[in-house]
């Protein structure tokens, strides 16, 4: 792992449809990373060392529609044992040799082993180690202090691993400079299954009542906003706007939320509609 100057900004994405490739390529992106691919596809790519690829999303526009693509090793989460947020519940890095909890030597050995193990599945020797997670960004100070300590002691070993803070842009620049060969992918990453009994499909049909309720709320919000411009009421339309907005969350309108969360979404929408009736009633009167 070697440092490199950064180029233009690139964002790590969870992208599955092949149309992403030509769209982002023509928008000027050098590449992108995503975390979710079918568990069988991932296993196959790990075995064949094909976690990086050139994604050809459109035959008609040729190479200008191609983009370098990187499938992340651990979705977008920290390695096990190295999540340093307050909710992680993992042991801190203790470098005080007088402390009975001293563990820095073993933890650094463990981390270097993890990096070398991950490197076995990638073509480039520039390896991305993701940190954080869905709910583990709540104590930045502790997290970064721990990462500072981790990087310092890893590099102090002077082994074949050099660790540093980086960005997708820096990674892409370093990989591009190596001028390596990669396989070409021409199709989607759909469907996506996280295990044999969990396929993330059916987004357009799951929870049809919730989808219908959201559509009613959106239509009602449009009516309320237009009527409000006619009578200039003092009714706050924020609740209905916020309710319609929150229903666009990727775990709301898709129907992938848990049942008690679905109930709460319905409560929010129902309450917002009721609060907004004043506008329509006043306008119609």
Q: What is the pLDDT of residues 8-67, one digit of tens each?
A: 444 444 447 899 999 999 999 999 899 999 999 999 999 999 999 999 999 999 899 999
pTM for this model (two decimals): 0.81
Contact between residue 83 and residue 77 where contact means Cβ atoms under 8 Å apart: yes
* Alpha-carbon gap, residue 88 to 81, rounded angstroms: 9
Q: Which two tokens stand for residue 72?
A: 């992340």
Residue-level pLDDT at 12: 43
Nearest to 142 by CA among 104, 85, 96: 85
For residue 138, the number of C-alpha atoms closer than 13 Å in the C-beta half-sphere is 7
Instruction: Categorise residue 90: left if φ over 0, alpha if ψ from -120 to 50, beta otherwise.
Output: beta
Residue-level pLDDT at 285: 87
Q: What is the pLDDT of residues 189-211, one digit of tens each?
A: 988 899 999 888 888 899 999 99
Instruction: Categorise residue 207: left if φ over 0, alpha if ψ from -120 to 50, beta otherwise.
Output: left
Residue-level pLDDT at 69: 96
| Residue 199 to residues 34, 46, 195, 196, 223, Cα–Cα distance (Å) | 18, 20, 7, 7, 38
- The number of beta carbons lying within 10 Å of the beta carbon of residue 179 is 6
Q: Which two tokens stand for residue 278?
A: 């004043």
Percent of the chain, pLDDT > 90?
Answer: 77
Contact between residue 175 and residue 16 where contact means Cβ atoms under 8 Å apart: no
Name the residue with tokens 């609740």: 239
Q: Which domains does the chain have, with CATH numbers?
A: 20-199 (3.20.110.10), 208-279 (1.20.1270.50)
* Sheet of 52-56, strands arranged across: 31-34, 66-71, 52-56, 183-185
Q: What is the pLDDT of residues 74-100, one digit of tens each?
A: 999 999 999 999 899 899 999 999 999
Q: Give me the phi and psi of 193, to 5 degrees please.
A: -120, 130
Residue-level pLDDT at 5: 42
Residue-level pLDDT at 3: 37
């Amino acid at each position: 792992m070697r440092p490199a100057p950064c180029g233009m900004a690139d964002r790590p994405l969870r992208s599955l449809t092949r149309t992403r490739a030509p769209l982002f390529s023509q928008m000027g992106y050098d590449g992108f990373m995503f975390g979710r691919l079918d568990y069988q596809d991932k296993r196959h790519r790990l075995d064949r060392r094909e976690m990086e690829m050139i994604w050809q999303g459109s035959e008609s526009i040729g190479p200008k529609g191609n983009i370098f693509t990187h499938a992340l090793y651990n979705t977008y989460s920290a390695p096990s044992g190295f999540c340093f947020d307050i909710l992680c519940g993992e042991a801190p890095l203790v470098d005080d040799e007088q402390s009975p909890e001293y563990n820095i030597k073993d933890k650094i050995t463990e981390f270097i082993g993890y990096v070398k193990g991950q490197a076995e599945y990638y073509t480039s020797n520039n390896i991305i180690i993701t940190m954080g997670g869905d709910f583990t960004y709540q104590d930045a100070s502790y997290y970064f202090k721990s990462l500072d300590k981790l990087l310092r002691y890893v590099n102090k070993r002077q082994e074949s691993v050099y660790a540093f803070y980086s960005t997708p842009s820096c990674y892409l620049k370093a990989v591009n400079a190596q001028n390596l060969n990669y396989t070409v992918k021409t199709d989607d990453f759909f469907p996506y299954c996280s295990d044999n009994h969990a396929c993330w499909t059916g987004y357009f049909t799951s929870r049809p009542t919730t989808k219908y309720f959201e559509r009613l709320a959106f239509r009602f919000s449009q009516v309320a906003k237009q009527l409000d411009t006619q009578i200039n009421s003092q009714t706050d339309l924020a609740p209905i706007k916020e309710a319609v907005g929150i229903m666009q969350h990727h775990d709301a309108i898709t129907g992938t939320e848990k049942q008690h969360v679905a109930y709460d979404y319905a409560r929010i929408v129902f309450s917002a509609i009721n609060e907004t009736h004043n506008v329509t009633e006043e306008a119609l009167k």
